[in-house]
Chains A and B, each alone.
Chain A
Amino acid sequence: MSSEFEISRSITIGQYVPTDSYIHRLDPRVKLLLFVVIVVAIAFNTSYIGNAIGLFLSLYLFWASKIPISYGLSGVKPAIPFIIILALLQLLFQGQLFSGGKVYVDYGFILITSESIRLVVVSAVRFIEIIFLSSVLTLSTSTTQLTHSIQSLLSPLKKINFPVHEISLITTISIRFVPTFAIEMEKMMKAQASRGADFGTGGWWRIIQRTKETFPIIIPLFNIALSRAEDLILAMESRCYTPGGNRSSYSVYKTLAKDYLVLLVGLLFAYLLIFYPFPF
């Protein structure tokens, strides 16, 4: 019964797991760049084999970074309903657009072909791959490292007055507060439940009821977020933060030979995923 309130456990974003593996020690900029490139490559790849390779890669990364796969699975779990709904919609309504291959069902507007099944399976797997990859990225890279690398990768944009540092700080703070708000939300759900509110008794298919259930939580959560933000501004200002000001950096990253090697392998991998004609 207790599980319905334990939101903070199922959130993998912003939870750094320090196992000090090879993956952890990579230059975070290389990791972030490769993450983006490989996600794009996965999005381009429409073959079964290509996505199986992608899935294998993401599982391998969990192993290589010594992070228990359960972290990745708990990230996938809340996405399952979406994956299922998306798959159903694609299966029922997108058959006309992907009408190639063998026809299995042709009933009214519903057309299910081997191509549309491929679309459904591949996009579901893709979804899982991307969740896994982003979990590995955020679990093996501290958010400060991540934002430092966003900052460093975007820094050429400073020339056109793009607020690079501000963007990266906003990102850090929002990620930093994810677990805090999850814990807050748990408390709130318990408080509401102890006063007789219903959570999760409606069955997942009763979408309207379940949406209504969240209002007494979402609204106070907003309230709390705003007052926290106000406090945070004071604390940051007290520590001499000036928007747009120059800052020095605590973490400095050196790109070593091994980082370049990993970058090269990763780019090659992405190239193959996009351009190699997989037979199946």
Chain B
Amino acid sequence: MEPIIRLENVSFSYKINEKTKVSVLKNISFSIIPGEYVAIIGHNGSGKSTLSKHLNGILTPDNGDVWVHGNNTKDTNNKRSIRQTVGTVFQHPDNQIVATIVEEDVAFGLENIEVPREEMKKRVDEALNVVKMSQFRHRPPHHLSGGQKQRVAIAGVLAMHPDCIVFDEATSMLDSFGRKEVLQVMRKMNNMGMTIITVTHHMSEAAEADRIIVIEDGQIVMDAPPREIFKHKQELKNLQLEVPSVSQMAEGIHQQFPDFSTELIQEDEFIDEVMKFSKVEVI
């Protein structure tokens, strides 16, 4: 299948002043196929956030190219269609809400791309429905919880009918309840066929994805399904990353009961394994 986003030898550096540059991305290449659920992980300063800003042309590479549906992000004429294809949800729920009423914020992007009013109404209703925020549509955003605000931000992106949504640490400011809400929405959208790219340092969140890309010092060091990735406990540790808490627990139990599987990354898998074990022990 033709990739929705394709990075070819992307390098990027931030200029500090005339003389010094800090190289953030070094020769990164990968493709993302429509419908994928990809997590990009890496510790602070690894370049993962800079990478995510390349995916819809907020930043453009110094060297190399980013192609979105075959359009180069460097071409300013493509800007609008690229940003319509790839939407972004950012970290701070408060800093991405423009309007003073929920539904009007959801409509902000649609106003920018000149969607006719009738169509706009339909899309706003739809988007608010998907994130389950319809009953809050007339509320001012500062009366909402973090998770709710973030769902409004998602609705704002969703209403523009993108093919892909990038979540740039979108859950890191939320409590565990809010995170769960947002993760559910992400899963739901992926099931609807949307391509999801989530940049995160919560491993349990990365475990939800179908594919994990690990970034270290501006380079891709691993690119595999979560189960593969989390087998490499020592390597991850060296990269200042951890395996999900479920895997850690499984590992601990494994030390006591060698038969207990260590390759568990999801909560329900863990519960199943425990159930299996307790039955064996009882009988």
Contacts and interface: CB of A to CB of B under 8 A. Distances in A.
Contacts of B109: 239-241
Dominant SS among interface residues on chain B: helix
Contacts of B153: 235
Interface string B87-115: 11011101111111101100111111111
A18 B138 contact: yes
Interface residues of B, number: 43
B58 interface: yes
B54 to A, nearest CB: 12
A159 interface: no
A247 interface: yes
A16 B140 contact: yes
A237 B160 CA distance: 13
Contacts of B21: none
Nearest to B157: A239
A140 interface: no
Contacts of B117: 248-250, 252
Contacts of B103: 250
Contacts of B101: 16, 142, 144
Interface in A173-191: 173, 175-176, 179-180, 183
Contacts of A246: 114
A166 interface: no
Given A249-B117, A250-B104, A250-B124, A240 B98 contact: no
Nearest to A239: B109
B160 A240 contact: yes
Contacts, number: 109
Contacts of A172: 98-100
B100 A143 contact: yes
Most buried by B among A15, A18, A240, A242: A240
A246 B116 CA distance: 12
A240 B113 contact: yes
A207 interface: no
Interface string B66-102: 0000000000000010011001101110111111110
A25 interface: no
Contacts of A277: none
Given A228-B94, A238-B83, A239-B160, A247 B111 contact: yes
A238 B100 contact: no
A250 B95 CA distance: 21
A238 B88 contact: yes
A143 B104 CA distance: 10
Given A15-B140, A248-B114, A250-B117, A237 B58 contact: yes
B5 to A, nearest CB: 15
A227 to B, nearest CB: 8
The interface centre, meaning the residue of B83, B84, B100 with most chain A CB atoms within 10 A of its CB, is B100
B41 interface: no
Interface in A191-243: 228, 231-232, 234-242
Interface in A5-43: 14-16, 18
Interface of B: 53, 56, 58, 80, 83-84, 87-88, 90-92, 94-101, 103-104, 107-117, 120-121, 124, 138, 140-142, 153, 156-157, 160
24 contacts: A15-B140, A175-B100, A176-B141, A179-B140, A179-B142, A231-B92, A231-B95, A232-B98, A235-B88, A235-B90, A236-B98, A239-B83, A239-B109, A239-B156, A239-B157, A240-B84, A241-B108, A241-B109, A247-B112, A248-B120, A249-B111, A250-B103, A250-B110, A250-B120
